[in-house]
Amino acid sequence: MTEQREQRIENLVRSVVREFQETARMTGVAAADPAVLDAFRRVPRDEFVPDAGTGQAWEDRALPIGHGQTISQPFVVVLMTQLLELQPDTRVLEIGTGSGYQAALLAELAGEVYSIEVVPELAAAAASRLQRLGYQNVQVRTGNGRDGWPEAAPFDAVIVTAGADSIPPALVEQLRIGGRLVIPVDTRWAGQDLLVCVKQEDGSLSERRALSVIFVPLVGRG
């Protein structure tokens, strides 16, 4: 690793840590988890974005990945990951593979990652990228993520990385009791509320709003 690249990563980590502090009252998360930050340092974001040489990969912002889609802002990716409270044996479902970056970060911290992407070209590119980078605990498939991945259910955690108009019922069904769902849901105005939900004994969801976010839309009907 070049010194410059390492420096850029550390600068980005610092800015993510600062954003955790600045949003703590809203997110209910006091600070970035060192284990999540270490995982973040290990995932080569520059392998997941175009124009790798420009250094843009290590700025705290979303970037285009083609097909009108974006790789999310690092702070939001780290926050959503932390909100899932992953353990080494956690089985996670991600909706919206995109570049595969979030899936890689999940794979660093969880046991098994299942990720669904609706654009076949993005799914194929992400799957081969993840394989090339050595992530063996991630499976990617093309499909409508609103239906979830019934054969692999139940999941301990579900993360949706596109803005949903409402919570897709299949994703709740496929979440185990006590499992966590992190999902951006459209507000009446612009953008989404990032919701952190926990599945209750009776099958219902507790919901907490953690942040205002802007994601590309979750397409298709549930």
Footprint on residues 38-77 left by ligand SAH (CB under 6 A): 69-72
Q: Binding residue for ligand SAH (CB under 6 A) from 74, 145, 148, 179? A: 145
Judged by CB under 6 A, does residue 218 bind ligand SAH?
yes
Judged by CB under 6 A, does residue 150 bind ligand SAH?
no
Q: Binding residue for ligand SAH (CB under 6 A) from 79, 125, 162, 213? A: 162
- Rounded Cα–Cα distance for residues 51 and 107 (Å): 24
- Rounded Cα–Cα distance for residues 93 and 139 (Å): 10
Instruction: Tell me if residue 115 is catalytic.
Output: no
CB of 74 to ligand SAH, least distance (A): 10
- Rounded Cα–Cα distance for residues 132 and 153 (Å): 26
Q: Binding residue for ligand SAH (CB under 6 A) from 146, 167, 192, 197? A: 146
H-helix segments, 43-100: 74-83
Give DSSP secondary structure letters for 170-199: HHHHTEEEEEEEEEEEE-SSSSEEEEEEEE
**Pair of tokens at residue 8:** 């850029």
The residue ranges that bind ligand SAH (CB under 6 A) are 69-72, 95-96, 98-99, 101-102, 116-119, 122, 144-146, 161-162, 216, 218-220
